[in-house]
Chains A and B, each alone.
Chain A
Amino acid sequence: MSKLVTWLASAGTGFLRACAVLAVVLLVPALWAAAVGLWIWWGAGPWSWLAPFAWAGIGTVALSRPVCKLTRGLVTRWTGTVIPGGYRQAAPVVRMSTGYWWNGFSYERTSRDARQDQRLRLWWSDPATWRDLRFTAIAPVTVGLLAAVPPAGVAVAVLGLLQHSPGIGLLGLLVAVTTAPYAWRPLEPVAVRFLRASFTMALADRVDELTAQRADATVTQAAEIRRIERDLHDGAQARLVALGLSLATAEKLMETNPDQAKALLRQARTGAATSLTEIRELVRGISPPVLTERGLADAVRALALDSPLETEVSAEDLPPLDPPIESAVYFGIAELLTNAVKHAHATEARIAITRQDNAIVVELADNGRGGALARPGGGLDGLRRRLAVFDGTLEIDSPPGGPTRARMMVPCESW
């Protein structure tokens, strides 16, 4: 009995889904049908077909993207399969020194023109556009036909009952009920086959992404080396020179003025201690000693101890990680903690480090006031880009008023 109920329920949802599929894929054919209708209605005249069919053509082009977006949405909602759109992203429109606007293709007088021109060219040159058009042409004759079976069955049933031929009516109903749970299902394979970015395109996108990441990494590294060089040059190196000078002077003064020599020596010792402190800070900024000595989990615990927040750290037993990944994750946590103190004014934080499949996942939650945004060029954006070098991701959930939750994920192939 319950089996029958679940069967009927699935038939019901199946029927509704088939109707939805039909409605979506028939949008464009309906447009063309209307065009044909209009042409017939206008009647003779050698050019009377031109206007309706021109409109139908433009309508098809305009509808293809919404139809495909709808289809992707339906597939994701019903089967969980995510089909990425893969549309080309518009480059920013920038104002040149001449006052004109550059959109990546041409110069325009105003930013509005530049944007319009860019949209058009992007649309035209985007392989995804042609993929969408192809799908709108294919879908009605594949998915559309199959999805039409249950509604058609129902229509036959109704017609049969109205015409007082219960045999045909019953047959129609039988067809509708038996096909309903399955009729919408071809949507997924067809959409996956025709709507997913082609292998070449995915590869090209990946290459673009990697090129950008490599550039990022190179720039970051160069900047870091410059910072270290500057710190050493202005700090420790200068102090050591001063130290040498004091010692030389003290040596000279040793016999003539022992008191002053003593004072200078004391000063030299203080100087040595200060430069040690500076070098220590510098080393900590390059690679924290605890990280080298104890690994990520203990380094984060040490970080939590030093933080003014009340911080709770839970870490699974982690196998040794690649040093660059370990360091990126460590500095990521440090940055998020600093943000929690400085911007969110949090008082408590929780850090959880876990491994999931082939990835290390860090979750950090605070009780601050939230509102954290990954603005381009900001700290969080920088962090996201640094993680991206390792194919890692950063997700921030920070509604205004808090709390903030951050999740870092970095895959580790070595596990």
Chain B
Amino acid sequence: MRILVAEDLYLLRDGMVRLLEAFGHEVVATAGTGPETLDALLTHRPEVAIVDVRMPPTQSDEGLRAALAARKEIPGLPVLILSQHVEQLYARELLADGAGGVGYFLKENVFDADQFMDALTRVAGGGTAIDPAVIAKLLTSGTSNRRLARLTEREHSVLALMAEGLANHTIGQRLFLSESAISKYTTSIFGKLGITDDSTNRRVLAVLTYLNKA
């Protein structure tokens, strides 16, 4: 894959580039500041970009802003946001355009190379990859409590994994259930949440969009 890495800390950037190259990917460009990132995103149009939230010059959410701006120019440009902390506000902003191809991950999950590569592949494919910590917060926050209260505990865990962006067979593996059982759960979840559309990639977005607006 052609990948762009935007991260201001040299050690982390270098480490990530080496990790990606070790997995046989091509790093087309790196960036260390917000404006650089936006520039690189628009000129290189990578298959997927890894962007740190906080970057110079302001040391605020430059990276996130650059990613959002680039996605406004090029809808669906796959971006995986890395952050030192999880904030559902940011995750919601990324998901808001509904174009897919976004991820929001804790930096430390980069340590888990398999999970990281998996997330990267999913984002590049137009899917979503949201950190479990964010999902946990989304599911417990007050704004979505009422309708979610109708779900059973099992349905809750299925929905959480689904929202992370996992496919049915992966969810089945994680919960030690068959794939058909999972699809039964998903159908009942959609029923309880009042979501009728069932196309494979859209469903995660549908769930998250629902959580957004509820």
Interface residues of A (CB under 8 A from B): 269, 272-273, 276-277, 280, 283-284, 289-290, 292-294, 298, 301-302, 304-311, 347-348
> What are 13 A-B contacts defined by CB distance under 8 Å?
A269-B112, A277-B108, A280-B84, A293-B53, A294-B60, A298-B89, A305-B92, A305-B137, A308-B141, A310-B142, A310-B143, A310-B145, A311-B142
The answer on a CB contact under 8 Å between B54 and A306 is: no
Alpha-carbon distance A311/B92, docked complex (angstroms): 16
Chain B contacts with A in 101-133, Cβ cutoff 8 A: 108, 111-112
Interface size of B by CB at 8 A reads 21
The 3 nearest A-B residue pairs measured at CB:
A302-B89, A293-B60, A310-B142
Which of B53, B85, B111, B146 meets A272, CB within 8 Å?
A: B111
Which chain B residue has the least Cβ–Cβ distance from A275?
A: B108
Across-interface contacts of A276 in B (CB, < 8 A): 108
16 more contacts with CB within 8 A, not counting A294-B61, A306-B88, A310-B145, are A269-B111, A273-B108, A273-B111, A284-B85, A289-B54, A289-B85, A290-B87, A292-B59, A293-B53, A293-B54, A293-B60, A301-B89, A302-B88, A302-B89, A308-B145, A311-B143
Contacts of A293 in B (CB 8 A): 53-54, 60-61
- What residues of chain B have their CB less than 8 Å away from a CB belonging to chain A? 53-54, 59-61, 84-85, 87-89, 92, 108, 111-112, 137, 140-143, 145-146
Select which of B53, B108, B143, B145 is within 8 A of A305 by beta carbon: B143
Check A292 against B141 for contact (C-beta < 8 Å). Answer: no
Inter-chain CA distance A347–B141, complex, in Å, is 11
A307's contact among B54, B60, B108, B142, by CB below 8 Å, is which? B142
Query: Contacts A276-B108, A310-B143, A311-B143: A305 and B60 contacting too (C-beta < 8 A)?
Result: no
> Closest A-chain residue to B58, C-beta based?
A293
C-alpha gap A273/B115 in the complex (Å): 14
CB-contact partner of B142 in A273, A290, A309, under 8 A? A309
CA A305 – CA B146 in complex, angstroms?
14
- Whole-angstrom CA separation of A310 from B140 in the bound complex: 11
Q: Bound state CA distance, A45 and B53, in angstroms?
A: 97
**Distance (whole angstroms) from the CB of A169 to the closest CB of chain B:** 76
In whole angstroms, how far apart are the Cα atoms of A308 and B214 in the complex?
Answer: 14
Distance to closest chain A CB from B208 (angstroms): 13
Bound CA span A269–B59, Å: 28
CB neighbours (8 Å) of A272 from chain B are: 108, 111
The minimal Cβ–Cβ distance linking A108 to chain B, given in whole angstroms, is 55
Would you call A308 and B142 a contact (CB within 8 A)?
yes
Chain B residues contacting A273 (CB-CB under 8 Å) are 108, 111
From A284, A289, A347, name the one whose CB has the most chain B CB atoms within 10 angstroms: A289
Closest to B109 in A: A273
In the bound complex, CA of A276 to CA of B137 (Å):
18
CA distance A289 to B61 in the complex (A): 10
Residues of A within 8 A of B146 (CB): 310
Docked-complex contact A305 and B141, CB < 8 angstroms: yes
- Given A289-B87, A293-B60: A307 touches B111 (CB 8 Å cut-off): no
Q: Which residues of chain B are within 8 angstroms of A284 by Cβ–Cβ distance?
A: 85
Task: Please measure, in the bound complex, the distance between the C-alpha atom of A307 and the C-alpha atom of B59, giving whole angstroms.
Answer: 26
Interface centre among A269, A272, A280, A309, by most B CB within 10 Å? Answer: A280
Is B85 a contact partner of A307 (Cβ separation < 8 A)? no
Bound form: Cα–Cα A273–B108 in Å: 6
Residue of A280, A294, A305 near B85 (CB, 8 A) is A280
Q: Which residues of A contact B53 (CB under 8 A)?
A: 293
Q: How distant is B111 from chain A, measured CB to nearest CB, in Å?
A: 6
Q: Which residues of A contact B59 (CB under 8 A)?
A: 292
- Which residues from B are CB-within-8-Å of A277? 108
Q: How far is the CB of B94 from chain A (nearest CB, A)?
A: 14
Q: Which residues of B contact A292 (CB under 8 A)?
A: 59-60
Q: Which residues of A contact B87 (CB under 8 A)?
A: 289-290, 302
Q: Are A307 and B141 in contact (CB under 8 A)?
A: yes
Residue among A272, A283, A298 facing the most chain B CB atoms (10 A cut-off): A298
Report yes or no: A289 in contact with B84, Cβ–Cβ below 8 A. yes
- List the A side residues contacting B111 at CB < 8 Å: 269, 272-273
Contacts of B145 in A (CB 8 A): 308, 310
With A and B bound together, what is the CA distance between A294 and B87 in angstroms? 12
| B66, chain A: closest CB distance, angstroms | 13
List the A side residues contacting B142 at CB < 8 Å: 304, 307-311, 347-348
CB neighbours (8 Å) of A309 from chain B are 142
Contact A283 B60 (CB under 8 A): no
B88, A305: Cβ atoms closer than 8 Å: yes
Give complex CA distance A290, B87 in Å.
Answer: 8
Task: Give B157 Cβ to nearest chain A Cβ, in Å.
Answer: 19
User: Closest Cβ of chain A: how far from B105's Cβ, in Å?
Assistant: 13
CB distance from A235 to the nearest CB of B (A): 15
Q: How far is the CA of A280 from the CA of B85 in the complex (A)?
A: 7
**Shortest distance between the CB of B57 and any CB in chain A (Å):** 13
Compute how far the CA of A292 lies from the CA of B62 in the bound complex, rounded to whole angstroms.
12
For B143, the chain A residues whose CB sits under 8 A away are: 304-305, 310-311
In angstroms, Cα B48 to Cα A120, docked, is: 80
Identify the closest chain A residue to B137 (Cβ).
A306
Q: In the complex the two chains form, what is the Cα distance from A276 to B111 in whole Å? A: 12
Give Cα distance in the complex from A301 to B142, angstroms: 12
- Minimum C-beta distance from A345 to chain B (A): 13
